[in-house]
Structure 1
Amino acid sequence: MSTIDGKYIWIEKETPNFDVDITSQPVEKDIDMIDHVQRKARTLALNGEVSGPKAAEIHEYLVHASDTGKIVKYIGRMAFSGLISGLSTERSYQTADGFTFSFTLTEVRLATSSYISKLPTPVKAQAAKIINSGVKQTKSNKKTKSKDTKTKGKKSSSKKTSSKKTSSKKEPVKKVKFKKGSPWA
């Protein structure tokens, strides 16, 4: 018997598909030139039947996994992990306490994070993206009309600066040199 995430199902037919994209360019004489071959996601078409007291539970699980995009693990004549697509369940007089089904499992690859998360803190600071927010204007204090009239003709040479001291101590950033050939060089 075969299983999908530990739930037993009977499989009548497994049909694996190993499809590729072949890029071709037309030429003046003879056949087209083949540029390269790129592999598509593997698929596995399954046809089978579920019967017994747990048939309704398995049907609900298959529909839920298909709707939510859950990656399921299939173990039968082949082992395969992927997403359920094109789920079709049929009920007929031939199966009184269950249903027949057909669906396709499609291979999935998940993206992994970059090397930056694995670096030590001083190196992370050097590798982090530099964000430049541009030049910002400082806010000026509102002046009363009496002060504006007095200083209207005079040029002011004093500027207000605010100094903020941070109480928290930060780890100083150290520059690190990497050997040639390392992934961070």
Structure 2
Amino acid sequence: MGWLARLLGRERREPFEWFKVDRSNPQSRPVAPPEAADDPDWAWRTLVAWWDRTRSDIPIGGASDEVIETLERRYDIVLPPDFRAYLANACPSREEEMDAGMGTWWHLDRLRNLPDEHEHPVGPVISDGGSRWLFFVDHLIWSWAWVICCEPGPDWGKVAVILGENDDCIVAASFSDFVAGYIADPYDMT
């Protein structure tokens, strides 16, 4: 224990030890309303409305179908409809602004799959090295980040958080559910 810690009666802690996620008693998170299941535009419209309400200065650009299809071919993925609609209509045109939840939503050219962006092993949730999981938003300059599964199968469309090496967790069953939870409390999506 250092002299200052002894003086203040505090032990030394590891970096980021103050932020520990307790997954022993999982809490239910907000989910998108039932009508969102039939409306792929619900997520992006809700997110943009929240950005406006919270005065987040996110420059909305959207992307063309050709650019989105190029992304799908690059990673051999199939984008879930609600995430595709978000990219087409509300994807930021640049990645310089944080929203009110301290999230930086990545512009289309910044989107990467897990192996291209994160060199460390992930936890047990993401299989196959995450080659078909795309990063799309991070928190406080990559304190943690969220990925979406773009591989058809049982995890297709699910969103996971990557908190660090060997630490991942599914936080939403769909992009729409992620948006519902994120706008309610971004920190609850860890």
TM-score range, shorter chain: under 0.3
Q: Which has the larger radius of gyration?
A: 1
Is the helix fraction higher in 1 or 2?
2
Is the strand fraction higher in 1 or 2?
1
* TM-score (normalizing by structure 2): 0.19
* TM-score (normalizing by structure 1): 0.19
